[in-house]
């Protein structure tokens, strides 16, 4: 009789332990906590980003794009640096201009009637290009600077169903790619992916320093009629502690 009771108790303990372990596993498998931004929060963010840029900036076009995305059923999620897992990867995406654009390239491509891709297509494809090159899934986007780059990060993240990090790699709008917190703290912007308005795909696998990344990417923009789209500065959640400005 005593042995039977001991067996029952042992069985119950095993069941309780299994349930407990199952619960622990389900908690660890949960996605990190994110928050969905409301329309007014997005508007406030874009207006504030223009102020933060410390240069000429009109948020109306950005606000229009975000509202259109909301009307299409897109969701804008945000994740804090504290909740971003150490083994996840985040990248920055933005447009890059080129003063003194090669007008003859624009004229020639128009004569050739070369098809171009939309800004939204370029933004999405350049993120995929870097992800494929690195063989890693991009879990979130971080804004590279204030103003339009903030809008780009929000729209691309919403389109891909991933969050935007509640942080940035610069404190304002900057004229050159090397002017960022990650590089100051020893985190390179390479590998870097670039897509031109015609869909040309370029990877900067290695570079001497960030000044050369700026030289090369800017030259591609100049040779592409004055603009290109760039994804850069891949960072792990662990690196964010040194490479991002929270908030």
241 burial level (CB within 10 Å; 0-12, 13-18, 19+): middle
Q: Provide φ and ψ at 138, rounded to 5°.
A: -85, 120
∠ Cα 59 64 68 (to 5°)? 150
pTM listed for this prediction: 0.82
Close Cβ partners of 126 (under 8 Å, ≥ 6 residues apart): 93, 193, 194, 195, 229, 230, 231
What are the tokens at 238? 């662990």
How would you write the pLDDT of the chain (247 residues) with one tens digit per residue?
444 544 554 554 444 444 444 444 443 457 889 999 999 999 999 998 888 877 778 889 999 999 999 999 999 999 999 999 999 999 999 999 877 778 888 899 999 999 999 999 999 999 999 999 999 999 999 998 888 889 999 999 999 999 999 998 887 877 777 888 888 899 999 999 999 999 999 999 999 999 999 999 999 999 999 999 999 999 999 999 899 988 8
Q: Can you spell out the DSSP letters for 19-80?
A: HHHHHHHHHHHSPPP-EEPPHHHHHHHHHHHHHHTTS---THHHHHHHHHHHHTT---EEE-
For residue 116, what pLDDT is reported? 95
For residue 141, what pLDDT is reported? 98
Q: How far apart are CA 190 and CA 114, in angstroms?
A: 30
For residue 180, what pLDDT is reported? 86
Helix, coil or strand: residue 170: coil
SS (H, E, C) 103-123: HHHHHHHHHHCCCCCCHHHHH
- Domain range annotation of the chain: 33-246
Length of the chain: 247
What are the tokens at 191? 């590998």
CATH topology of domain 33-246: CV3147-like fold (3.40.1610)
Q: Where are the alpha helices (DSSP H) in 97-209?
A: 103-112, 119-134, 148-160, 181-184
For residue 227, what pLDDT is reported? 92
């Amino acid at each position: 009789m005593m042995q039977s009771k001991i067996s029952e108790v042992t069985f119950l303990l095993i069941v309780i332990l299994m349930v407990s372990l199952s619960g622990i596993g389900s908690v660890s498998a949960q996605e990190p906590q994110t928050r969905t931004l409301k329309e007014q929060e997005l508007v406030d963010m874009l207006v504030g980003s223009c102020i933060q840029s410390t240069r000429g900036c009109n948020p109306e076009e950005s606000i229009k794009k975000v509202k259109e995305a909301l009307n299409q059923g897109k969701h804008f999620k945000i994740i804090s640096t504290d909740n971003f897992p150490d083994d996840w990867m985040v990248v920055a995406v933005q447009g890059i201009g080129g003063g003194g654009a090669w007008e003859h390239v624009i004229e020639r491509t128009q004569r050739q009637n070369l098809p171009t891709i939309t800004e939204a297509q370029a933004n999405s494809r350049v993120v995929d290009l870097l992800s494929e090159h690195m063989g890693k899934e991009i879990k979130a986007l971080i804004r590279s600077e204030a103003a339009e780059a903030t809008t780009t990060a929000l729209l691309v993240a919403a389109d891909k169903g991933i969050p935007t990090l509640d942080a940035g790699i610069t404190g304002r709008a900057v004229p050159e790619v090397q002017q960022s917190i990650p590089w100051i703290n020893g985190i390179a912007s390479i590998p870097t992916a670039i897509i031109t308005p015609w869909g040309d795909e370029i990877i900067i696998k290695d570079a001497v320093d960030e000044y050369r990344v700026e030289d090369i990417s800017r030259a591609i923009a100049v040779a592409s009629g004055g603009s290109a789209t760039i994804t850069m500065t891949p960072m792990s959640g662990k690196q964010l502690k040194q490479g991002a400005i929270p908030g």
